Structure 1
Amino acid sequence: MKVCWVLLLGLLSSLVMAVEPGERLAPWTLLDQFEQSYTLDDQLQVLLVARDMEGAELVKAALQGKPKGYLEQRHALFLADISRMPGPIASLFAVPAMRDYSYRVLLDRQARVAPRYPAEAATVLWLDLRAGRLLAQRSFTDASALAAALEQAAP
Structure 2
Amino acid sequence: MKIVTFLLLGLLSNAALALEPGERLAPWTLLDQHDAPYTLNDQARVLLVARDMDGAKLVNAALEGKAKGYLEQRQAVFLADISRMPKVIASLFALPKMRDYSYRILLDRDARIAPRYPAGEGEVLWLQLKDGRLVQQQTFTSAELLRQALEQQRPH
Fold match by TM threshold 0.5: yes
Q: Structure 1 counterpart of 2:46, which letter? A: V
Cα offsets for 1:77-117 (capped at 9, x unmatched): 11001111111111111111100000000001111111111
Cα offsets for 1:28-61 (capped at 9, x unmatched): 1111000111111000000111111111001000
* C-alpha distance in structure 1 between counterparts of 2:9 and 2:72, whole Å: 37
Which runs of 5 or more residues in structure 1 are unaligned? none
| Partner SS, residue 95 of structure 2 | helix
Higher deviation after alignment, 117-126 or 99-108: 117-126
RMSD over aligned Cα, in angstroms?
1.5
TM-score by length of 2: 0.93
Higher deviation after alignment, 13-22 or 58-67: 13-22
Give the Å deviation of 1:5. 5.2
Higher deviation after alignment, 2-11 or 101-110: 2-11
Give the Å deviation of 1:4. 5.8
Aligned partners of 2:55 and 2:122 also within 8 Å: yes
| Partner SS, residue 83 of structure 1 | coil
| Partner SS, residue 24 of structure 1 | coil
Which runs of 5 or more residues in structure 2 are unaligned? none
Report what 1:25 is aligned to.
25
Count of residues in correspondence between the two structures = 155
Aligned partners of 2:17 and 2:118 also within 8 Å: no
* C-alpha distance in structure 1 between counterparts of 2:120 and 2:82, whole Å: 15
Report what 2:77 is aligned to.
77
Report what 1:124 is aligned to.
124
TM-score by length of 1: 0.93
